[in-house]
Amino acid sequence: MLFATTRGLLPYLMADVIAELGIARVTVDYSDFFPTKKAPPLAEHVKELTRTSKSLAGPLNQYTGLDQDITLLPATADNLMTEFRQTSKRQDRMHCMTPFGRQQLDVPTFIEEVTGLRPSSAVLPLPFVPPFIPSTSTERNTAIKMERLEERSVETVKAILDALPSTPVPLICPVTSATAAVVTPHASKFSGWYVPHVVIDDLVASLPPLLAALPPRPIMATLHDPLAMVRAIKAGVGIIDTAMPFTMAEAGLALTCWTGKDVEDDGQGKRAQGSTSPESAESAVAPYQLNMWGTKHREEMEPLVEGCGCYVCSRHTRAYIHHMTVIRELSGTVMLAIHNTHHVMQLVDGINDGGGDVIDGFINMYG
């Protein structure tokens, strides 16, 4: 799992809490530090700030104060999918939406800064065109424009990869069905593939042909929903980048879905026990989530999830968390973020332990 630090979401939690939760890998968005007329380039700024440090950690880890492995994304996942495209004049420059407005990202400069920042890995900035499926009502001109845009993007990807300088930082390459053919000859330059998508159905449908066309590498995707995450794992995704625990906490939502942690080996294969087992899904299903704004939680003295071992569930009641939510106290959001993070990691552990039984059971319950 990669937990996103986008726009300060992860810093709700202090470094010691992050470590205690077991978070080992995070993502940082390059676009959130985009150089402006009043700000120096990120690598130059960070290296200057950490110049006198005796720490052996990389400059980016020192700057963020995070001990975890950092994967540097060129932009937020949503912007990477919808706003990331080549400029009209140069193939090695991309349009990128940042907190400072629309900017242009120079690929050689990005690689140079990645080398200086020394993250654990970095996603290469490449253009992405959402899959276009024309219908009978699609105007011919629109279909022609989309085809040309896709062709131009493929040409741009090829030009960037042909001229890609070497870097000691492992690179992860965005790839789609349209660009797989031009990416494959450069597979030795990359440690993994990043699969951009608009909706989970696109991802699940596109993965099998991609996996067949590409050399074996870990597949990375950005997902914002537990069900989408489980479906993606079933389809072959091995690295998931998400800000889900924190965005849900901001909305006052607590994850309570089944995590598969009650799966055990009965000597005849895997089976699930308890009221939340896949076999009893129709009769008793753990709620997917709780809306802590709801007044029904005002007098509930039980924890968010009975038996949950997270810091919040072992110390606080639903009534208290509801109270902190409705008065808009930041600590309420922090508590929900801690619980949601723990719950997602329990789900991942459950999948690792229970395998296909947990995956299929979860999809049958909530799909």
296 vs 84 pLDDT, higher one: 296
pLDDT, average across residues 22-42: 73
Q: What pLDDT sits at residue 332?
A: 93
Residue 140 sits at φ, ψ, to 5 deg, of -60, -40
Q: Are strands 2-4 and 25-29 parallel, antiparallel or unpaired?
A: parallel
pLDDT, average across residues 8-16: 59
Q: 103 falls in which pLDDT band (50, 70, 90)?
A: confident
Question: What is the set of domains in the chain, with CATH numbers?
Answer: 2-242 (3.20.20.105), 253-366 (no CATH)
Residue 23 sits at φ, ψ, to 5 deg, of -70, 120
Residue range 174-195, pLDDT digits in tens? 988 888 899 999 999 999 999 8
List, in sequence order, the alpha helices (H) in the chain: 15-20, 42-49, 59-64, 77-82, 107-117, 140-162, 180-183, 200-213, 226-235, 244-250, 318-326, 330-354, 356-366
Enumerate helices (H) and strands (E) in the chain, giving the number of each: 13, 15
- Report the range of poorest mean pLDDT among 49-63, 113-127, 301-315: 49-63
Residue range 319-338, pLDDT digits in tens? 999 999 999 998 999 999 99
pLDDT, average across residues 347-356: 89
Residue 271 sits at φ, ψ, to 5 deg, of -145, 160
pTM: 0.81
What average pLDDT is seen over the chain?
Answer: 79
129 vs 280 pLDDT, higher one: 129
129 vs 190 pLDDT, higher one: 190
Is a pLDDT exceeding 60 seen at residue 83?
no
Cβ neighbours around 147 below 10 Å, total: 13
Largest CA distance in the chain: 66
Q: 303 falls in which pLDDT band (50, 70, 90)?
A: very high
Is a pLDDT exceeding 50 seen at residue 282?
no
Q: What pLDDT sits at residue 188?
A: 93
Cβ neighbours around 298 below 10 Å, total: 11
